[in-house]
C-alpha cells in the first residue's frame, strides 16, 4: 500500500473548499503538454527510452524549486488499488494509471507531486505539467504551472515549432498545450432543465464539458468539468480569460436557477435536499451513482442555506473517499462487488456522524 | 474509448441526454449511432479529429505530391496511415513530414495554425539549421508563386515571417 501521508496535504488539498466560489466550483486544474525535442513520442518509443525520459526529467525536477521535494510514484510498480487511489485523488489520469479498457500500465509511467503541482511522465506526451487548486482559481493555478514550465524548460529541451508552438503527440493539444478545467456543480440548471441549452451554448464558444473524472467519464451528481477545446491560435491568457468569463456566466445562470427553484417550488426543494441528507445519513447500502446524486442534493441544500452545519469540505471529501480504492484503503481490505455499497454507506454514516453532529 | 453499445468499435459520437432530470452521456461508434438514428450534424458533435482522419485517406494521393509531405516520416518511420489509426503522431518531426495535411487539420481543429502563446527559447536548434530551413522555405515559396498556388504561398510567407 502506498503512503499518501508523504504528500503534505495527502494530495487532496484541492478538496478543502478554501478557494474562491467553492460553493459552486470544486477545483481548477490546468495542464501543459510538453515533449522533449529530438525524441519520438510516447506511442512509438521503447521501454528504455521511457526510462531515460523519466531520469532526465526527474533530474531537472530535483534541480527546480517547485519540484525539489516532490514525491515520486511509479505507476508501473504499483498494484491496481494504489493506482486507482491516485486516480481517484485526481493526481494521475486514467490512462497513466492503466485503468483504461485494456488495463495495462505502461512501463515508466510515473508522477512527481509536490503540494498543488506536479508532472505526469510518459503519459500521452512525455510531460504533462499540472496544477490543481481548490475553487475557481484559473490565474493562480496558471501562475504556478507556468513557473514550473519555465523552471523545467530551462533545464530540458522541449519540442517547439516556430509556427505551431509546443508539439504534442495528438494535434488537438498543439500550440500552448494548455487545457484548463473547472469542476463545477450545476444542480439548479439540471433541475430547471436549462442545462442542455447552457452546454450547447458552451460548445458554440469553443468550450467542452466532461464528467467528474475527465476525458471519457460520465456526468454524475451534476458535476461538470468545463474546459477549453482549442489550444492553438490564442495565447495562454486569452484561453484562460475566455474560459473564466464563460464559467462566471454559467455560475450566474446556476445562481439564478437556484433562486427560481426556491421561489417557485420551495417545499419541493426543501424536501429534496433533506431527503438526500436523510438517505446519506441512514442508508445501509449506497451505489456509487446514488451516493453522487445524494451528495449533489445535500450540496445544493448547503449552498442555498437550507441545510446548516454541513461543511463543503465534508461533502467534497465524501465525493472522493467513497470511491472503490479509497473504501478499500479505509478498511485495509479490498471490498467485494457485493460488499462495496454496504461499506460505502457505512463510511458516509461515520463521516457525517463525526463531522456534522446530531440534528433534525 | 469503446462504444457503449457494441463494446467493440471505438466511440466517435458522444451523446449527452437528459432523461428524468439525469444527465447521461452515451459514447457510440458510428455504426451503432446510425442504428440508433443519431445523425451527427443535428446537435451531436462528432470528434473533429475523427472526421478529419477519415477524410485524410481520400486526399492522400494529392497530399503526397505536395511539397514536404511524404507518406512516412523520415525521423520515426510513422506514416499517415498510422496517424489515421491511432490519432497520434510519432515524433516532433512528423509535424514537418506531414505539414500540408496537418495544417489543414489544425485549421479545422483550432481555427488557426499559428501559435501566439508563450514562446520557448529553443536551445536545441543551432542557428545553422535554422538558416538552411529558411532557405528551403524561400525556395518553396518561389515555386508556389510560380505555380500560382497562392494559398500555400501565403502560408509559407507566414512561416518565414515567424522565423525571421
Q: Write the residue in A38, A171, A200 that is nearest to B105 by C-beta.
A: A171
Q: How far is B54 from chain A (nearest CA, A)?
A: 15
Check A40 against B49: CB less than 8 A apart: no
Tell me what the mean pLDDT of segment B43-48 comes to: 42
The tens digit of pLDDT for each residue in B116-159 reads 999 997 544 445 556 667 777 888 888 888 888 887 888 788 77
In this prediction the ipTM stands at 0.87
The pLDDT of residue A337 is: 86
The pLDDT of residue B46 is: 42
Q: Write the residue in A44, A162, A164 that is nearest to B91 by C-beta.
A: A44
The pLDDT of residue A319 is: 92
Give one DSSP letter per residue of A319-348, joined into a string: HHHTSHHHHHHHHSSPPPTTTHHHHHHHHH
pLDDT band with cut points at 50, 70 and 90 for residue B70: low
Check B114 against A232: CB less than 8 A apart: yes
Q: How far is A192 from chain B (nearest CA, A)?
A: 9
The pLDDT of residue B76 is: 92
Q: Write the residue in A43, A153, A195 that is nearest to B86 by C-beta.
A: A43
Q: Write the residue in A39, A44, A165 that is nearest to B115 by C-beta.
A: A165
Check B112 against A232: CB less than 8 A apart: yes
Whole-prediction pTM: 0.79
Task: Return the H-helix or E-strand segment holding A3.
Answer: none
Q: How far is A239 from chain B (nearest CA, A)?
A: 10
Q: Which candidate, A95, A96, A178, places its Cα nearest to that of A141?
A: A178
Tell me what the mean pLDDT of segment B77-96 comes to: 93
Which chain A positions have a beta carbon within 8 Å of B88's beta carbon? Answer: 41, 43, 124, 169-170
The more confidently predicted of residues A160 and A218 is A160
The pLDDT of residue B20 is: 56
Q: Which candidate, A316, A322, A327, A317, places its Cα nearest to that of A288?
A: A322
The pLDDT of residue B71 is: 83
Out of A95-99, A120-124, B68-72, pick the least confident: B68-72
B88 pLDDT higher than 50 = yes
Task: Return the H-helix or E-strand segment holding B159.
Answer: helix B150-163
Which chain B positions have a beta carbon within 8 Å of A39's beta carbon? Answer: 91-92
Q: Do residues B115 and A164 make contact, with C-beta atoms less than 8 angstroms apart?
A: yes
The pLDDT of residue A261 is: 97
The pLDDT of residue A215 is: 65
Tell me what the mean pLDDT of segment A244-261 comes to: 97
Out of A209-218, A271-280, A309-318, B114-123, pick the least confident: A209-218
The pLDDT of residue B123 is: 46
The pLDDT of residue A163 is: 94
The pLDDT of residue B55 is: 56
Amino acid at each position: 500500500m502506498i503512503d499518501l501521508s508523504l504528500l503534505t496535504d495527502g494530495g487532496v488539498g484541492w478538496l478543502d473548499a478554501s478557494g474562491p466560489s467553492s460553493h459552486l466550483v470544486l477545483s481548477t486544474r490546468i495542464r501543459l503538454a510538453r515533449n522533449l525535442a529530438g525524441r519520438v513520442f510516447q506511442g512509438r518509443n521503447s521501454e528504455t527510452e521511457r526510462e531515460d525520459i523519466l531520469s532526465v526529467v526527474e533530474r531537472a525536477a530535483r534541480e527546480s524549486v517547485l519540484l525539489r521535494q516532490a514525491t515520486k510514484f511509479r505507476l508501473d510498480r504499483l498494484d491496481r488499488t494504489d493506482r486507482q487511489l491516485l486516480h481517484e485523488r485526481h493526481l494521475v489520469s486514467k490512462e497513466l494509471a492503466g485503468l483504461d479498457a485494456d488495463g495495462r500500465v505502461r512501463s515508466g509511467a510515473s508522477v512527481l507531486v509536490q503540494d498543488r503541482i506536479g508532472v505526469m511522465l510518459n503519459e500521452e506526451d512525455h510531460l504533462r505539467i499540472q496544477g490543481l487548486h481548490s475553487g475557481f482559481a484559473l490565474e493562480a493555478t496558471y501562475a504556478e504551472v507556468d513557473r514550473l514550465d519555465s523552471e523545467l524548460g530551462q533545464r530540458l529541451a522541449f519540442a517547439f515549432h516556430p509556427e505551431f508552438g509546443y508539439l504534442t503527440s495528438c494535434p488537438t493539444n498543439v500550440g500552448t498545450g494548455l487545457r484548463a478545467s473547472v469542476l463545477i456543480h450545476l444542480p439548479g440548471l439540471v433541475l430547471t432543465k436549462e442545462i442542455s441549452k447552457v452546454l450547447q451554448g458552451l460548445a458554440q464558444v469553443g468550450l467542452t464539458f466532461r464528467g467528474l473524472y475527465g476525458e471519457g467519464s460520465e456526468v454524475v451528481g451534476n458535476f461538470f468539468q468545463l474546459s477549453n477545446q482549442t489550444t492553438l491560435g490564442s495565447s495562454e491568457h486569452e484561453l484562460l480569460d475566455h474560459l473564466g468569463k464563460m464559467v462566471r456566466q454559467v455560475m450566474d445562470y446556476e445562481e439564478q436557477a437556484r433562486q427560481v427553484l426556491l421561489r417557485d417550488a420551495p417545499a419541493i426543494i426543501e424536501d429534496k435536499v433533506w431527503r438526500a441528507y436523510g438517505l446519506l445519513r441512514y442508508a445501509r447500502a449506497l451505489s456509487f451513482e446514488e451516493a453522487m446524486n445524494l451528495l449533489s442534493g445535500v450540496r445544493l441544500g448547503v449552498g442555498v442555506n437550507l441545510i446548516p452545519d454541513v461543511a463543503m469540505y465534508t461533502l467534497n471529501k465524501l465525493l472522493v473517499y467513497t470511491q472503490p480504492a479509497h473504501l478499500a484503503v479505509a478498511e485495509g481490505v479490498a471490498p467485494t462487488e457485493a460488499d462495496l455499497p454496504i461499506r460505502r454507506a457505512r463510511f458516509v454514516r461515520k463521516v457525517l456522524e463525526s463531522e456534522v453532529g446530531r440534528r433534525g | 474509448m469503446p462504444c457503449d453499445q457494441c463494446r467493440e468499435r471505438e466511440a466517435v459520437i458522444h451523446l449527452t441526454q437528459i432523461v428524468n432530470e439525469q444527465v447521461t452521456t452515451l459514447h457510440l461508434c458510428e455504426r451503432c449511432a446510425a442504428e440508433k438514428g443519431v445523425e451527427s450534424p443535428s446537435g451531436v458533435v462528432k470528434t473533429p479529429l475523427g472526421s478529419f482522419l477519415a477524410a485524410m485517406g481520400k486526399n492522400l494521393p494529392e497530399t503526397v505530391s505536395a511539397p514536404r509531405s511524404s507518406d512516412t516520416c523520415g525521423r520515426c518511420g510513422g506514416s499517415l496511415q498510422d496517424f489515421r489509426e491511432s490519432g497520434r503522431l510519432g515524433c516532433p518531426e512528423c509535424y514537418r513530414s506531414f505539414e500540408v495535411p496537418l495544417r489543414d487539420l489544425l485549421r479545422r481543429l483550432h481555427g488557426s495554425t499559428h501559435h501566439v502563446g508563450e514562446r520557448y527559447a529553443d536551445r536545441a536548434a543551432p542557428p545553422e539549421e535554422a538558416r538552411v530551413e529558411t532557405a528551403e522555405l524561400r525556395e518553396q515559396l518561389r515555386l508556389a508563386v510560380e505555380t500560382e498556388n497562392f494559398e500555400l504561398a501565403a502560408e509559407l510567407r507566414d512561416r518565414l515571417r515567424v522565423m525571421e
